[in-house]
């Protein structure tokens, strides 16, 4: 992976797109990014399986195609779904990684950002364990802020958005319970990185 200058990114803490501070669990659901694509977008999601249930390992099973479709009635509605993400942050702030950041994970679906279609091609997907509309835990924000910094040190990250911003009308996560102001303050980045105007941050 190259920086905008053409020089290779530093690899301290990273190995072939895998982050040393994450628990690695390889997903088979990924592909190659288009050649010479700059990974400059972070997309935040929320997920829980079944909805509102936490800590059972079902999310990890989904992303690795190991979910028992008969373990809960809700799972029949997503039967045979094949998706993935780069990172997953549990309610306790534990960080998992399923796909190398150098690879294309299957998290955004039909999407567009600033006129660029197919956000999966150039984004990093981060799933937060939670339910859209409900609040997230302090440990998750702490982990997310650290991860955002680590990503920006090694990839030309220019924007952080929610799934709702790149697939409006189709997706609503992470939802109104996500505290964007807290994230902006935690990372101490300019509001220009985020999907709203600077005067919305107080």
Helix (H, G, I), strand (E, B) or coil at 25: coil
Let me know if 127 is a catalytic residue.
yes
Strands (E), 23-130: 23-24, 30-32, 41-47, 87-89, 95-97, 103-105, 112-113, 116-117, 123-129
The b-or-e profile of 20-49 (16+ CB within 10 A means b, else e) is eebeeeebebbeebeeeeebbbbbbbbbbb
| Catalytic one of 35, 56, 127, 200 | 127
Residues identified as active-site: 127
């Amino acid at each position: 992976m190259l920086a905008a200058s053409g020089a290779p990114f530093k690899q301290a803490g990273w190995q072939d797109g895998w982050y040393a501070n994450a628990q690695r669990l390889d997903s088979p659901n990924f592909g190659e990014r288009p050649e010479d694509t700059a990974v400059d977008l972070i997309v935040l999601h929320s997920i829980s399986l079944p909805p509102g249930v936490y800590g059972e390992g079902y999310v990890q099973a989904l992303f690795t195609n190991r979910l028992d479709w008969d373990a809960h009635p809700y799972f029949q509605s997503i039967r045979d779904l094949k998706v993935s993400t780069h990172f997953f942050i549990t309610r306790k702030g534990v960080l998992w990684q399923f796909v190398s950041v150098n690879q294309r994970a299957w998290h955004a679906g039909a999407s567009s950002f600033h006129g660029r279609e197919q956000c999966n091609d150039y984004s990093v997907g981060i799933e937060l364990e939670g339910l859209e509309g409900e609040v997230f835990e302090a440990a998750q924000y702490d982990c997310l802020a650290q991860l955002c910094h680590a990503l920006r040190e090694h990839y030309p990250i220019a924007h952080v958005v929610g799934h709702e911003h790149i697939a409006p009308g189709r997706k609503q996560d992470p939802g109104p319970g996500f505290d964007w102001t807290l994230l902006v303050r935690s990372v101490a980045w300019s509001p220009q990185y985020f999907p709203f105007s600077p005067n919305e941050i107080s």
